[in-house]
A = this chain, B = another copy of it.
């Protein structure tokens, strides 16, 4: 009987050889990226999802578990399961890794520095998986922790994904950039990949960081990905680690 039920589902449209819970996970992701459930929305109850996907609680929960550990869904006991929204807390917890020495993690003060349009050079094209010369938005921010300048962030966005992005959109927000990507452009960052190295800071960076040119800085190369692993943001951060450290995870 159990076996028959499983067989029926597989023959009914699922790929064979793929565990049911992975199929369910994929279908939930598709429902989100197709817009059926938007950021902040509550999903149907687990029992309803079981009916919809024709699976048992255990299988459904295994699929949802996967999506909660990757940060796509958030469960709240007694309330429901929700599509994760970006927030300051989520940004600090999942995406921002500079921590003041001898202090708690905190959301940085962000000072807008510059906005301009540019085109992808070889490096940016490679990182963002776009063609050489693709139009990009370039934003420069300065981040401070505890009243001290911590890093300079050079941000590059494929302009095609952010139609109508202007200096004013950047300056007039009162949320994190990732919240704004989500609310204004329906671009949801769900994962980032970072690579770190040590570098000497340039004259321009030194002025912004308020340290001497030639001082050592931590260089953080971050690419942010949306659903379906599409790169949506390249961010080069140059951090002065005199008063803060980088803590992975």
Contacts and interface: CB of A to CB of B under 8 A. Distances in A.
A194 B248 contact: yes
Chain A interface mostly helix, strand, loop or mixed?
A: strand
Interface stretch (A36-44, A171-179, A197-205): A197-205
Contact of A245 (B99, B195, B241, B249): B195
A239 interface: yes
Contacts of A247: 194-196
Count of identical protomers in the assembly: 2
Contacts of A221: 245
Contact of A241 (B97, B194, B197, B249): B197
15 contacts: A99-B195, A194-B247, A195-B245, A195-B247, A196-B196, A196-B218, A196-B246, A196-B248, A197-B218, A197-B241, A197-B245, A198-B239, A198-B241, A248-B248, A248-B249
A58 interface: yes
Given A216-B216, A216-B217, A218-B218, A197 B58 contact: no
A198 B199 contact: yes
